[in-house]
Structure 1
C-alpha cells in the first residue's frame, strides 16, 4: 500500500525514498528524539513547507514508521529500526567514499577488514602536484622506526639504500615478505650487494612469498599499521596510516600468516 507514488516498499525503493530528501531523514530524527510530534513541531525543526511535512508524514504512515495519535504522530518500533539501519548504511557509504582513493588500488576483497577499523586513519594520496607523497610517507616511517615488519610488493633504490644504511648502522631491525618479482630484482645489481650486507648483520630477515602481494603492509615498532595501494608499475598511489588496535592486530596476523607460507632468502641464495 502506497498512495504517495514512492514505490512498493522493496529495499531499493525504500532507500531511494529516504535518500531522495533530506527532509525525510531529518523528520525521522525529530521523531526519534521527541517520540510524538505535530506537524507544527516538525516544521519548527525542519526547514520544509507545510505540504512537504504533510507528504513526508503521510509517507511514513503508509510504511508503518509512524502512527497517528490524538497528540500528533508517534514513531513506531519499525520507524526507530529504520533510522538505525539507514544511519548505519549512510556511515558505511561515507567510509567507502572516504577510503576509495586507497581501495581502488587494491584487488577485490584483498583487504578483509571491518571498514570501521579504517576510521581515524591518515590517508596520503598521490596527486598530480605531489605524485610521490605516499612513497615519501613510507620512507619517513622506515627512517624513524627501530623495528619494522611488512610486505614489499615492489622495491626502489632510494628506500633500499635507506634501509641498508640503518640496518648496517645497527639502528633498525626488519623482517619483510617480498613478492616473487621483488625476489628477482634483489638478486641483481645494485640491490644484490646491498641485500647481502644487510643479511650478514643478522638484523634483516627476508621471506619470498609464493604469490604476488596485493598491497604494501607496514608494521613499525609496537603500534600502528600502514596499508598501501599501488598501480601496475609498482608506484604507491595511496597510503593509510592508522593506530587502530583492531587493524594493527589484523596486520600482525596477516603478516605472520604470509611469513609462514613464504620461503626464507639467505646469503647463499644471492
Structure 2
C-alpha cells in the first residue's frame, strides 16, 4: 500500500476547516476539495492563510481565460483524447453517466484552476511572499452553487482489485519522492468497470511520452499566467502567515504538485471526458 501524506477528508472536516472547504467549493465552483488543500488543512492555520491569499485572484476574468487555454492545450489530439468509448462498453447505468461526467468536469475545472493559482503563488513565494494588505473586492456574480460530489472512496473501502489498479496508475503520476493517490482516481472508483476499461489506455498514454508533452503545454500556459499574476497576491492583514520554515517546506510541496501530478491529471481528466459518449 502506498503511504500518503496526512490530510483532512471532506467528510471529516469540522469547524473552521469545514467552513474553508465550503468556501473553496463555492468560490472555485466545483463539488469537491482537491488533495493539496486537504493536506494543508492538516497543518494548523496553513489552509486559512493560503486560501485567504489565493481566493481574491479568482475574481479576475484572466483566470477564466487562462483556464480555457489550459483546457484547449490539454485537449490536443493524442492517443487518449481520440479514444472513444461506446455506451455498451461502459457497464454503467444510464442514470449514472451524468454523474461520471460531472466528476470529470469538476476535476478538470479544479485541477486547471489549481495549476494556474499555485504556479503563480509559488512564483510569489520565491519573490518573498505576498504583501500584507486589504483583501480585494468580492466577485460580483458567480454561477449557481454546485452540489457536492459523492464522497471520495477510501482505499480501504474499495475492492482489492480496484485499489491495486489505482495504486499502479498513481505510481506513474506521483513525483518519485512524494507518493500520492490522485483524488480523481479515487472518485472514479465509484465506477470500477469504467476505471478498469480506461486504465490500459492511461498506461499506454504515459509510456508513449504523450502525457508528458501535453502536460508541458499546460504548464507553459500556467507559467504565462503567473507572469502577470504573481505580484497580485495579498496577505490579508487579519491572517497570520506561517513561519518562514513552513512556507519554505510548502513551496517545495507546491512545486512538486505543479510540476507533475496536477498538470498530468489535467490532461488525463480532459482526455477521459472527451472519451465519454
Q: Which structure is richer in relative contact order (CA contacts within 8 A, separation 6 or more)?
A: 2
Larger fraction in strand: 1
Decide: shared fold, TM above 0.5: no
Larger fraction in helix: 2
The TM-score bracket by the shorter chain reads under 0.3
Instruction: Provide the TM-score with structure 1 as the length reference.
Output: 0.25
Instruction: Provide the TM-score with structure 2 as the length reference.
Output: 0.25
